[in-house]
């Protein structure tokens, strides 16, 4: 079960709330980037960034110099939101237009990862989330690179999940209107891998990358 703090208990669109922890994992695991919200000088700052999940911990990373990471490390709360836009809901009235989506919001005070083993595991999770198989296939980080990369751990304790799917919900009297109604689905697909022109050796696209391009997220 997910948490039931006031801000993760949905008041609006209550029928869209999911309360199962597996729903949270599903939304997070299907994502590539999140939007990280921090407060800097009293103002919100929302930055897109990578993330990874191990169990009930979300890892985010960044240069030790980045303002968003500094804010996230200073003991303040952050909000991490992952959103999948699945379609545009075309209703019979302007008012009932909507989108189909899956989204997760996580609140918490992130912990700075000091332990070298967890630091590495967090980076691995972040890398594998974006690029599965690449951790083992490419040059591992040096000590200098590790030192330049801060990793923050955020507990998935306080989280909410919202999902909207299906056709529009129109006002009763509007169903008779001669207006096309339905959903225009959105799909995210992979294009063909584009080799780096600077590649010196004649290297084939490895299976862990090639196999990905035939899947649809």
What residues from 134 to 153 belong to the interface with a copy of itself (CB under 8 A)? Answer: 134-135, 137-142, 145, 149
- Cα separations (Å) of 60 from 63, 73, 177? 11, 11, 48
- Candidates 92, 110, 125, 150; binder of a copy of itself (CB under 8 A) is 92
- Cα separations (Å) of 65 from 29, 62, 71, 156? 28, 8, 10, 25
Residue 55 binding a copy of itself, by CB under 8 A: no
CB of 19 to a copy of itself, least distance (A): 19
Q: What 8-state DSSP symbol labels residue 141?
A: P
Closest C-alpha among 63, 80, 62, 51 to residue 157: 80
Sheet holding 111-112, edge to edge: 52-54, 57-63, 149-155, 111-112
SS3 140: coil
Residue 17 binding a copy of itself, by CB under 8 A: no
Residue 37 binding a copy of itself, by CB under 8 A: yes
Residue 52 binding a copy of itself, by CB under 8 A: no
Nearer to a copy of itself, 67 or 112 (CB): 67
CB of 162 to a copy of itself, least distance (A): 9
- Candidates 17, 26, 39, 112; binder of a copy of itself (CB under 8 A) is 39
Residue 163 binding a copy of itself, by CB under 8 A: no
Residue 74 binding a copy of itself, by CB under 8 A: no
């Amino acid at each position: 079960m997910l948490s039931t703090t006031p801000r993760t208990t949905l008041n609006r669109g209550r029928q869209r709330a999911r309360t199962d922890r597996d729903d949270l994992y599903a939304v997070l695991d299907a994502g590539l980037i999140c939007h990280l919200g921090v407060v800097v000088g009293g103002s919100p700052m929302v930055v897109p960034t990578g993330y990874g999940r191990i169990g009930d911990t979300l890892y985010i990373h960044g240069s030790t110099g980045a303002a968003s990471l500094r804010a996230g490390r200073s003991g303040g709360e952050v909000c991490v939101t992952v959103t999948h836009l699945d379609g545009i809901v075309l209703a019979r009235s302007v008012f009932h237009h909507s989108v189909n989506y899956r989204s997760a919001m996580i609140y918490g005070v992130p912990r700075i990862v000091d332990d070298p083993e967890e630091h590495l595991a967090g980076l691995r999770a972040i890398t594998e989330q974006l690029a599965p198989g690449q951790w083992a296939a490419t040059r591992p980080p040096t000590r200098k690179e590790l030192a330049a990369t801060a990793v923050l751990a955020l507990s998935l304790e306080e989280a909410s999940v919202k999902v909207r799917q299906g056709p529009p919900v129109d006002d009763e009297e509007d169903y008779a209107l001669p207006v096309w109604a339905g959903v225009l689905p959105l799909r995210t697909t992979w294009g063909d891998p584009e080799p780096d022109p600077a590649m010196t050796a004649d290297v084939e696209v490895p299976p862990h990358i090639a196999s990905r391009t035939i899947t649809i997220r």
